Amino acid sequence: MSINITVPEVGESIVDARVAKWLKKEGDAVAAGEALVELETDKIDVEVAAPQAGVLKTIAHGDGADVKIGEVLGTMETTGTKGTTGTTGAEGVSPAEARSAKAETKETSGSERERAETPKTEEKKVATTASATAATPSARRAARENSVPLANVQSAGPRVTRADVDRASTRTESVAKTEKTAPKTENRGPRTQDPGPRTSGRSEERVRMSKRRSTIARRLVEAQQTAALLTTFNEVDMSAVMTLREKHKEAFKAKYGVGLGIASFFVKAAVVALGEFPRINAEIQGDEMVLKHYYDIGVAVGAAEGLVVPVIRDADTLSLADIETAIRDFAKRANDGSLTLDDLKGGTFSITNGGVYGSLMSTPIVNPPQVGILGLHAIKERPAAVSGQVVLRPMMYVALTYDHRIVDGAEAVQFLVRVKDLVETPAALFLLA
């Protein structure tokens, strides 16, 4: 019986995908539930599995093709139905058996057959080993890009993750570099020939953007073209937060199993400030403003395929430990490719921390349909006036980019000042949050 392999529905906001890699070839036997093909979407990567055991018959869209949800990727013949066209012949012989019998009756010598079949046997063996290795889609793609055999990658979990492949790739590169730079001992003797002209090394490489990177590019342009974006700045004295962290970091880690960072303070401060300035926690729908009285805070996380913004739901109900745990979990799963669509859906306001990369100041772009995003930056010691004295303090520039269509400049400035005051006085933050 012939059945279609289609692009599955992975979320209401995702309408297309890209074929990243077929894991099987036409004619390959597959087991029920075995992964057939990897798909890239603008948010997550997914594997399409065989619904039943059988043979992959045709591939309609090859690697790199863009496809729509519901579109046919290929067809397969299920096993166990004799006499069905394409599954078995009139004699009840499967196509695989017929091909095997035909190959056996060819008038070729034993040595020629051996030479012809050995590469195919080795190729099939390698393919079987790779497909048998449980790995995330992003791990498989990273392994292909870095020429790292999945079977050689060690993983502490049930599946190989992208982080595991990256570690294996780093080790491979380190060994290769050592071999390349090792001194050579042979005696070359006097050079008698002209080595010829040197190459300039001005090479170029053309790399197609991933589905996610392409979507990020499109949405950033849309945000700037459709919204009236403006950014306001302030600076925060981080002394109180730094002192609090230093004093309680060991006890906090021992009790909750996670370190105390600075992002959780800003999430709590943002929630309080959003309650006081609700239009920054809203979106525009037609000629209406949708004011949201809940606080789902998106936290930008850097990943190999591009920036993602997983969402901390109901952040107003969470403790610092809950927020820190959520952020670290998001960061880990962003790197190993295991974030789900539900992790990325929605969000009423976002926070991005360019300071982890050393950024001193930037103008973040809002994540539509949201109308505000808070940008954090590197903490640097700078001279500050305190009680008539000039002292060095750990200072951070903060930025709020907002949609001027519904957020007035005065609101934006006051919102950022409120965040500043709350972070500089953590006791007030805990009393109000």
What 3-state DSSP class applies to 38? strand
What 3-state DSSP class applies to 283? strand
- Say whether 404 is catalytic: yes
3-state helix, strand, coil in the chain (%, to 5): 40, 25, 40
Under the phi-then-psi rule, with left for phi > 0, alpha for psi from -120 to 50, and beta for the rest, what region is 290? Answer: beta
DSSP element (H, E) containing 394:
strand 389-403
Nearest by Cα to 21 from 210, 160, 166: 210
Which DSSP symbol is given to 209?
P
* Helical packing angle, 263-276 and 409-424, nearest 10°: 140
Query: Which among 296, 329, 404, 421 is annotated as catalytic?
Result: 404
The amino acid that residue 205 corresponds to is E
Longest pairwise C-alpha distance within the chain: 99
Question: Which class for 231: exposed (0-12), middle (13-18), buried (19 or more C-beta within 10 A)?
Answer: middle
The Cα 159–Cα 157 span in angstroms is: 6
- Say whether 408 is catalytic: yes
Pairing of strands 389-403, 288-291: unpaired
Which DSSP symbol is given to 278?
G
CA 359 to each of CA 256, 267, 377, 396: distance values in angstroms, whole numbers, following the listed order: 30, 19, 6, 10
> In DSSP terms, which residues pair with 76 in a beta bridge?
3, 56
What are the backbone dihedrals phi and psi of residue 60, each rounded to the nearest 5 degrees, phi first? -85, -30
Q: How many CB atoms lie within 10 A of CB 415?
A: 25
Catalytic residues: 404, 408
